[in-house]
Structure 1
């Protein structure tokens, strides 16, 4: 925390801060495209071909 305080003191308040997710973020995960068994069934994963 001392290093973060030093950086913010030098470059301005809020330049560096702890990583946190707000209680009610403006963004949400798009769960409608997530597989129902995303950790157990590899056949449900999307396949991408690069040519």
Structure 2
């Protein structure tokens, strides 16, 4: 903790944080990463026939 305090004192408050700090930050999903519905709806999967 002394090292973290020294770093934060030198380079500014919040430069280093413990891993559990700020876990509940607000975030938004990138809509471009949303999977198409056919990957989760069995009835919408295209039929595949083996030769």
State the TM-score, normalized to the length of structure 2: 0.42
Greater helix share, structure number? 2
> Which of 1 and 2 has greater Rg?
2
